[in-house]
Structure 1
Amino acid sequence: MSHTVEWKVHLHLFEEEGMTKARAVVDTGTRVVTGHGAAHRNPVDPDVPEIGDELAAGRALYDLGRQLTNLAERDLDGVHAPRPEPRPTVGWPM
């Protein structure tokens, strides 16, 4: 069975008082999931906004991915499907 969908992720970045905050939002068609991330600049570090944006965005997307994975695992439990083997949470993907 062929299945193709497109999910668009909206990534919002906010900067205030040396902190960058990010919000990543995806609408799957059945639910809306929001991930959050933040980055704090050390006062002794140079002010490079792109680094804060990258860190906060990456953390928000990581949070979003974690939530989607958790939702899928709960959905699998609901249909009594066998669960995939756990993957390591750190290190390089296989």
Structure 2
Amino acid sequence: MSHTVEWKARLHIFEDDEGTTKAHLVLDTGTTALTGHGAAHCHPADANVPEIGDELAAGRAMNDLARKLLQAAERDIEGTGAPRPGTHQAAGWLL
């Protein structure tokens, strides 16, 4: 069973007027889009290194998106009539 797809991700990072770096990540699967959000704020006592804020905000957006993607997979597995993941092996899918 061979299966190949290409999903596209767009990551936008920006800093607002209050000095908070925000990241907005969109994953386009071709049939649906999921979004993740993350933020980072530099402590006043820390050195202002924009790359660190970018990395933190982007990483948090990716974590948020990963959580949403796993939740979507769990819903899809349940939609096949399989038991909820974590209670039993779900239709051959190991979670």
User: Would you call these one fold, judging by a TM-score over 0.5?
Assistant: yes
Task: Please give the per-residue CA displacement for 1:1-60, whole angstroms capped at 9, x wherever unaligned.
Answer: 100111111000011222100001011112110000000110111100000000000000
Question: Is 1:2 the equivalent of 2:2?
Answer: yes
Report the alpha carbon displacement of residue 81 of structure 1 after superposing the two structures with TM.
2.8
Runs (4+) of structure 1 moved beyond 2 Å? 81-86
Distance in 1 between the 2:29 and 2:8 partners?
8
Report the alpha carbon displacement of residue 83 of structure 1 after superposing the two structures with TM.
5.1
One-letter amino acid matched to 2:10: H
Distance in 2 between the 1:53 and 1:62 partners?
14
One-letter amino acid matched to 1:19: T
Report the alpha carbon displacement of residue 80 of structure 1 after superposing the two structures with TM.
1.5
Distance in 2 between the 1:84 and 1:73 partners?
7
Identity of aligned residues (%): 66
Paired residues in the alignment total: 86
Equivalent position of 2:42 in the other structure: 41
Distance in 2 between the 1:19 and 1:55 partners?
11
* Normalised TM-score (structure 2): 0.84
Report the aligned-residue RMSD.
1.4
Unmatched 5+ stretches in structure 2: 88-95
Distance in 2 between the 1:54 and 1:70 partners?
24
Distance in 1 between the 2:19 and 2:79 partners?
44
Distance in 2 between the 1:52 and 1:77 partners?
38
1:49-88 correspondence runs (5 A): 49-82=50-83, 84-85=85-86
